[in-house]
Amino acid sequence: GGLFSESQRIKYTIETRTQGIPDVRTYLLTLKEIRSKRGLIDELGAEAMMMGALDKVEKEIKKPLMRDDKKSMALLTAEFDKINKKLGIRKEDLPKYEEQLELKIAKAQLEELKKDALEAMETQKKREEFKDEAMPDVKSLDIRNFI
């Protein structure tokens, strides 16, 4: 499974999970769910801002925003551009954010591995037959050594 980068995998998950979703609200909520399942924290608070933008547009058009409503989607896109400006994100910087996302995910996965390793060591410690063996030093498993 190393053919896809993690952000490509997430993109694929998003595409398959959101394919049949006609309205933007359910789409955004599904995105949020996928992100939180992946342990991606929205540090910028962008999700709340996106929801706010959606509320604003829906109030304007007086109905739920559908993804195939090109005219109203343009309103939402304009709102999203304002959010990006506010957050200091430029379209041309997005690849950089994707790289940071990859790093974040890689680190999270390393944390998982570390946790598993520690748990395995604990289990081993509890086994009587290993009681005379010295435990490997936890510090040697410090994540910073892998980065």
Each domain of the chain, given as residue ranges in start order, spans 6-89, 99-141
What's the count of helices (H) and strands (E) in the chain, helices before strands? 5, 0
As given in the structure block, the two tokens for residue 134 are: 């010295």
Summarize pLDDT for 102-121 with one digit per residue, the tens: 788 777 777 778 787 888 77
Total residue count of the chain as it appears in this document: 147
41 Ramachandran zone, left/alpha/beta (phi>0; psi -120 to 50): beta
Predicted TM-score (pTM) of this structure = 0.60
Question: What integer pLDDT is reported at residue 142 of this predicted model?
Answer: 57
Dihedral of the alpha carbons of 93, 1, 11, 94, in degrees to the nearest 10: 0
On the question of pLDDT at 146 being above 60, the answer is no
